[in-house]
Amino acid sequence: MSEFRITRTLPEDAMAAALRADVQKGLTSDPKTLPPKWFYDARGSELFEQITELPEYYPTRAEREILAGRAAEIADALPARTLVELGSGSSEKTRHLIDALPRLHTYVPVDVSDTALEQAGRALVAERPGLNVHALIADFTAGLALPRSPGPRLLAFLGGTIGNLLPGERAEFLASVRALLSPGDALLLGTDLVKAEDVLVRAYDDGAGVTAAFNKNVLSVVNRELGADFEPDAFDHVALWDTTNEWIEMRLRSRTAQTVKVPALDLAVHFAAGEELRTEVSAKFRKDRVSVELAATGLELERWWTDGEERFALSLSVVR
């Protein structure tokens, strides 16, 4: 008999407090920054879904190709009884793994959106008799406690989201993931790979302007939640490839000298003409770099799968 449970480990006001702290810190820093997690209100999530269907944006299709074609191999490498997914969203891609794991007892989707968890979790329970779903409303970057469930456990972090973390943040995150895992458990990690600069830039600066609207949406979030008076049209969307750090940066460039007020923080933010606000870093990886970063936290890369064009990779690291 299937069971659906949802547990909130994130206080009701935690996201509001985090937004205030991030905006205060980011808009008073030099250079100015805002974290990419604030893209994803209802409108931002809708825009991102549109982005994943754009011809220029390959990561979602490439990762889906790997999961569809290699899910059985992943399941053979680790016949998990529990599947944990960080940042699960709609759990759409994860269904390939769920279907491939014959002994799967419990699926633990983790997300900050209770709506997405509720919809996806109830659908999975209805579709798959015998599967238990224990959803967690939690911020996995701020520490996480998993519910008791049978092992071995496969923890999946897909979508290349790890690339949004700076190197020091990645090290801390991977260490926290390792602390959740016991011998016999494993991490399945999705990483976007280094490739030609023009391919990368187009993926973050599409011809239809959907990514530009997505980027500017973070300003609308700050306006709505903190009473700010950002004018999104007063900023241009910028996507740049940093060859030294091997990451894409998304920025918003002020068209004119302007002052933005954020009443909830009693803050006035001055922008010079041409000044840029960084909204996202998206690191791209090579296999050896992934291996080194995993090894630094006690995880050993054992399996490596890519799509047919070698644009994206899934790696499996088993705890011994």
Q: For residue range 255-295, list pLDDT tens digits in order.
A: 999 999 999 999 999 999 999 999 999 999 999 999 999 99
In one-letter notation, the amino acid at residue 180 is: L
Backbone phi and psi for residue 301, each to the nearest 5 degrees, phi listed first: -65, 125
At 291, list the tokens.
């291996």
| Mean of all residue pLDDT scores within the chain | 95
Question: pLDDT tens, 29-39?
Answer: 999 999 999 99
pLDDT reading at 115 higher than 90 = no
Given this model, what pLDDT does residue 33 score?
Answer: 98
Question: Which helix (H) or strand (E) is 258 found in, with range?
Answer: strand 258-262
pLDDT reading at 59 higher than 90 = yes
Instruction: Give the rounded percent of residues in the chain with a pLDDT score beyond 90.
Output: 88
**What's the rounded Cα separation, in Å, for the pair 16 and 36?**
15
pLDDT reading at 1 higher than 80 = no
At 299, list the tokens.
């995880």
Given this model, what pLDDT does residue 89 score?
Answer: 85
Compute the C-alpha angle 110/152/168, nearest 5°: 50
Q: Average the pLDDT over 144-161 and give the result.
A: 95
Query: Each residue of 75-84: b (16+ CB within 10 Å) or e?
Result: bebbebebbb
Given this model, what pLDDT does residue 242 score?
Answer: 98
Given this model, what pLDDT does residue 142 score?
Answer: 79
Q: Average the pLDDT over 9-32 and give the result.
A: 94
Question: pLDDT tens, 180-239?
Answer: 999 999 999 999 999 999 999 999 999 999 999 999 999 999 999 999 999 999 999 999
Compute the C-alpha angle 135/140/146, nearest 5°: 50
Given this model, what pLDDT does residue 320 score?
Answer: 85
- pTM recorded for the entire structure: 0.95
